[in-house]
Structure formats: structure tokens, C-alpha cells
Amino acid sequence: MDNDEDVLLRVRANLWRGDESVGGHLTLTEAHLRFRAHGLNIQTQPLDVPVAEIVSMRKYNNLRIVPNGLAVTTASGTEHRFVVGGRNRLIAAIEALQS
């Protein structure tokens, strides 16, 4: 699943794909931020974002009130929006890899 890369952090998360909040796990390795959906979702395709391609991260309030959103923007301008517990820990881990 993680292509022999060491897992630094794994958290439960949802990924917004259009109107669907896809449940699964976010895994951070030294090279990638990977999302893997649970099998019960409609959209189950994996997402692999190279850490080197992440140009910004911002916190947002999910449903405008719940402080658990994390938007990750890549060098190509694509934004991936996640709902994740412990987003500060995830942000800190990504920033540490990029420094």
C-alpha cells in the first residue's frame, strides 16, 4: 500500500470529491501524502500527493463551523480538501519534511 515507504503518520480522514465526503485514511511518508478510501465509498480511487509538490496548506472549518478541515494545494494549483482529526500534527509533520 505504501510502496515500502516508512509511514510517519496515519490518521482517519475524509476527502471531499465533489459533493461526496469519501471516508478513509491519510498516510504521510517522507515522500507522499496518500489517501486511501474505505471500500464502501462510491469514489474509491487512491490519491497520492508528493510532499515536494505541496505548496500550501490552510485550515478551514468544515460545514463552516467544525474546525477540522485541511486544504492542501499542489504546485499545479490543485486543491485537495480533507476533514481530519489532529490536523495541527499533520501540518507540523509535512512542514518538517519540507524544511
Give yes or no for residue 41 having a pLDDT over 90: no
Q: Any idea what the Cα angle at residue 84 is, between residues 55 and 3, rounded to 5°?
A: 65
pLDDT number for residue 95: 96
User: Helix (H, G, I), strand (E, B), or coil: what is residue 96?
Assistant: helix
What is the residue extent of each domain of the chain? 7-98
| % the chain with pLDDT above 90 | 80
Tell me: pLDDT of 99 over 90.
Answer: no
Distance CA 77, CA 98 (A): 18
Paired residues of 26 in beta bridges: 11, 35
Pairing state between β 66-74 and 79-84:
antiparallel
Q: How many CA atoms lie within 13 A of 10 on its CB side?
A: 9
CATH architecture assignment, domain 7-98: Roll (2.30)
Task: Summarize pLDDT for 16-28 with one digit per residue, the tens.
Answer: 999 889 999 999 9
1 pLDDT higher than 60: no
